[in-house]
Amino acid sequence: VEQLRKNIETRLKVSLPSDLGAALTDGVVLCHLANHVRPRSVPSIHVPSPAVPKLTMAKCRRNVENFLEACRRMGVPQEHLCSVGDVLGARGLGVYATVKALLSLGPPLRSAPPAHLAGFALFYLSVMSVLCALYCHLLPCL
């Protein structure tokens, strides 16, 4: 569960509370996650506003339904799909299985840049430094 929370945080660049189930109950994070895996898979997401910081149960339900429909369209197997009640009731295991199945369809989580990029960066900086030195040396002659 902790690994799944960190995975979601990294992909969406958000901080989630330690109680992941409660953080997912309004469906907002789930919809954003589906859109991360496949852009525009959830075209409309109800989000809280400063004026109304808590979504109505109807809007939460609609978000969750949209998320589950997007999962179906993206190919999450039916046996991995949780129910709307699982999400709204913060019953974690079914929700976590659905999220895990969804993330397996998406792009892999990017890790640290490969070591060969560090070598390329060093080469690039060296070449640019030499070119800069030559330019500065030749400029007064012109």
Q: Are residues 94 and 135 in the same domain?
A: no
With tokens 């978000």, the residue in question is 63
Residue type for position 115: A
Q: What predicted TM-score, i.e. pTM, was given to this entire model?
A: 0.74
Q: What torsion do the CA atoms of 89, 104, 43, 61 make, to the nearest 10 degrees? A: -10
Q: Are residues 34 and 92 in the same domain?
A: yes
Q: What distance in Å separates the CA atoms of residue 34 and residue 28, rounded to the nearest whole number? A: 10
Q: Which of 106, 83, 110 is nearest to 33 (CA)?
A: 106
Q: Are residues 15 and 53 in the same domain?
A: yes
Per-residue pLDDT tens digits for 77-101: 999 999 999 999 987 788 999 999 9
Q: Are residues 67 and 91 in the same domain?
A: yes
Overall domain count for the chain: 2
Domain span at residue 127 reads: 113-142
Q: Are residues 98 and 40 in the same domain?
A: yes
Q: Are residues 67 and 7 in the same domain?
A: yes
Per-residue pLDDT tens digits for 103-135: 998 877 665 566 667 778 888 899 999 988 888
